[in-house]
A and B are shown apart, each in its own frame.
Chain A
Amino acid sequence: MLTYLSIIITAIFVNNIVFAQFLGICPFIGVSKKLSSAYGMGAAVTFVMVLATCVTWLLQHEVLNPLGLGFMQTIVFILVIAALVQMLEIILKKIAPALYQALGVFLPLITTNCAVLGVAILVVQKNYNLGESLTYAVATAVGFTMALAMFAGIREQLSLVDIPKPMRGVPIALICAGLLAMAFMGFSGIKIG
């Protein structure tokens, strides 16, 4: 139990995927202008990340490792993620049109979200078992959504402020992200158990 708790706290706060590991920055900057789209993106990433981690973990341990094809990891993982996103798009459209309406726009963007591939590779590197891997994926996605939502809140305020022209848009957003990252550094060194 303690291992799982430790994985969750570490993935959300101590090693936040955006502020400490620098993964998933593109959607972080791109889709964080409005709070509502931040939640949509967060939900879509959570969905894909958990599914992708599950499939790639099984592939790595049941197919690639026994066959000695570990070196095909990158190519197999990225294809699986791309296919998964496509399939998800088609299935959602058919089965849950309402959910598709909400997440649809974000799905194509996720294939090139390095957080998804990053987590799939990281759980293999860290030698997690399936349960730990899925916990890690969920917690990372929660951390990502939280970062996105916090940031979107700040950017909604920023749009009302008079900022020097060259700093408008991405530069000021990056500096705010830096200050948030500083706040998150306060979590480093936390240990459970």
Chain B
Amino acid sequence: MSKNKSSIATMVLSLGAITAIAAALLAWVNDVTKTPIEEARNAKKVTAIQDVTPAFTNDPIADADSIIPEGEDRTVVVFPAFEDGILTGAAVETYSMDGFSGEIALMVGFDAAGSITGYTVLSHAETPGLGAKMNEWFRDNEGKRSVIGSNPAVRNMNVAKDPGGEVDGITAATITSRAFLQAIRRAHSAFNQYCETKSHNNNEQ
């Protein structure tokens, strides 16, 4: 098999040489792919923001603000959309820990009045074919499924099964639906809080 004898010197030399070549190769590929990886990571966020918010002329990522909703300890990021200096709405990166299989992350868009303009599911681990349907379900115009165009301040964002709820949950995936709507409510209160602090700051100036 090998023509080399297995002496300590040849063993150390050959392994050292292979490792050195490997490390050099990896460092080079890492260097080449560093920026594309960074861009790819941001691209997902940027497309999500563009998908859900009204038109904007600013850079929402540069203007982003972290908000801690009242009575909670985790931050929610608000990406505001401005057109010629006027707030037209925002995309809110929100979450719920109460999904069927853990965390659900959403990007939810609001117009200046607080009505939902759109949403995208960023990540989830829900059951395929059941809870995983949420990316289509809550924009479907059938019955009371769609949340698009509603304002959580006006419409009760709870599943119809629960008291007062006005949204149809996903069939056979009520836990996912509850978690989804919780994330939406959280996004809305973060957006409200953001608007309040902004107008407060403006008044002071």
Are A and B co-members of a single complex? yes
Residues of A at the B interface (CB closer than 8 Å) are 14, 71-72, 75, 188-189, 191
Residues of chain A contacted by B22 (CB below 8 angstroms): 75
A14 to B26, CA, bound (A): 37
Does the CB pair B26–A75 fall under 8 Å? yes
**Shortest CB–CB separation between residue B4 and chain A, in angstroms?**
21
**Shortest CB–CB separation between residue B112 and chain A, in angstroms?**
36
**Interface class of chain B by DSSP:** helix
**Interface class of chain A by DSSP:** helix
A189-B100 contact in complex given A72-B23, A75-B22, C-beta closer than 8 Å = yes
**Shortest CB–CB separation between residue B160 and chain A, in angstroms?**
21
**Shortest CB–CB separation between residue A180 and chain B, in angstroms?**
18
Question: Nearest B residue to A70 by beta-carbon distance?
Answer: B30
Residues of chain B contacted by A71 (CB below 8 angstroms): 26, 30
Residues of chain B contacted by A188 (CB below 8 angstroms): 100-101, 127
A188 to B100, CA, bound (A): 8
Interface string of B90-126 (1 = CB under 8 A from A): 0000000010110000000000000000000000000
Residues of chain A contacted by B76 (CB below 8 angstroms): none
Question: Nearest A residue to B175 by beta-carbon distance?
Answer: A189
Residues of chain A contacted by B127 (CB below 8 angstroms): 188
A186 to B72, CA, bound (A): 31
Q: Which 6 A-B pairs have the closest CB atoms?
A: A71-B30, A189-B100, A71-B26, A188-B101, A189-B175, A72-B26
Residues of chain A contacted by B26 (CB below 8 angstroms): 71-72, 75
**Shortest CB–CB separation between residue B72 and chain A, in angstroms?**
16
**Shortest CB–CB separation between residue A4 and chain B, in angstroms?**
16
**Shortest CB–CB separation between residue B138 and chain A, in angstroms?**
20
Question: Nearest A residue to B101 by beta-carbon distance?
Answer: A188
Does the CB pair A189–B30 fall under 8 Å? no
